[in-house]
């Protein structure tokens, strides 16, 4: 007995797939070979689904605007912020971050001479492809550049 569901699913067979085939249409047999091909420019990567305005991606830190008030450390629910006493700045671990943007809300920012309004030291970017083999890799730690040189 034909039912409504059967017609619906038969119709689906001829429709364009709803899923976005990211990064390539078919799963590659060899991922490393695919990455090499992409680097050579032989294969084009299908872009991910676009993100809306106001998306909470990876946190960006601008140490020049940081006044060292430590409010972000007070509110951070995941303890992703670390205080660097030598520099009076913070270090942010993206691997611990839960992307709630509370620190961005609470950040007072700093007004440089000649500006009307303070600019926040912390801001949310739209970067979301953050997979990495090492959770302490440079890509996943936001810190003042001096911190690395001083080894603190």
Task: In angstroms, give the least distance from the CB of 45 to another protein.
Answer: 22
Sequence-distant (≥ 6) Cβ neighbours of residue 50 within 8 angstroms: none
Task: In angstroms, give the least distance from the CB of 18 to another protein.
Answer: 5
Task: In angstroms, give the least distance from the CB of 60 to another protein.
Answer: 15
- Round to whole Å and give the CA distance between 23 and 5: 32
Residue 37, CB-side half-sphere exposure with 13 Å CA sphere: 13
* Burial label, 112 (beta-carbon count in 10 A; 0-12, 13-18, 19+): exposed
Pick 52 or 85: Cβ nearer another protein: 52
Where helices occur in 15-128 by DSSP H, the ranges are: 31-40, 71-75, 102-106
Pick 105 or 146: Cβ nearer another protein: 105
Task: In angstroms, give the least distance from the CB of 84 to another protein.
Answer: 21
Residue 80 contacts residue 97 (beta carbons within 8 Å) = yes
- The residue ranges that bind another protein (CB under 8 A) are 1, 3-5, 8-9, 12, 18, 51-56, 71, 74-77, 98-102, 105-106, 124
């Amino acid at each position: 007995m034909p039912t409504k569901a059967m017609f619906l699913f038969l119709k689906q067979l001829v429709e364009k797939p709803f899923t976005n085939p990211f990064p390539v249409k078919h799963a590659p047999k060899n991922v490393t070979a695919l990455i090499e091909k992409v680097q050579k420019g032989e294969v084009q990567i299908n872009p991910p689904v676009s993100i809306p305005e106001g998306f909470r991606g990876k946190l960006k830190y601008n140490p020049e605007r940081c006044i060292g008030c430590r409010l972000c450390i007070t509110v951070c629910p995941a303890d992703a912020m670390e205080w660097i006493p030598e520099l009076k700045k913070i270090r942010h671990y993206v691997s611990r971050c839960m992307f709630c943007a509370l620190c961005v809300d609470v950040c007072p920012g700093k007004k440089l001479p000649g500006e009307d309004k303070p600019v926040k030291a912390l801001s949310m970017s739209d970067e979301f492809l953050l997979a990495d083999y090492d959770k302490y890799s440079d890509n996943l730690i936001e810190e003042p550049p001096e911190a690395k040189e001083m080894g603190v």
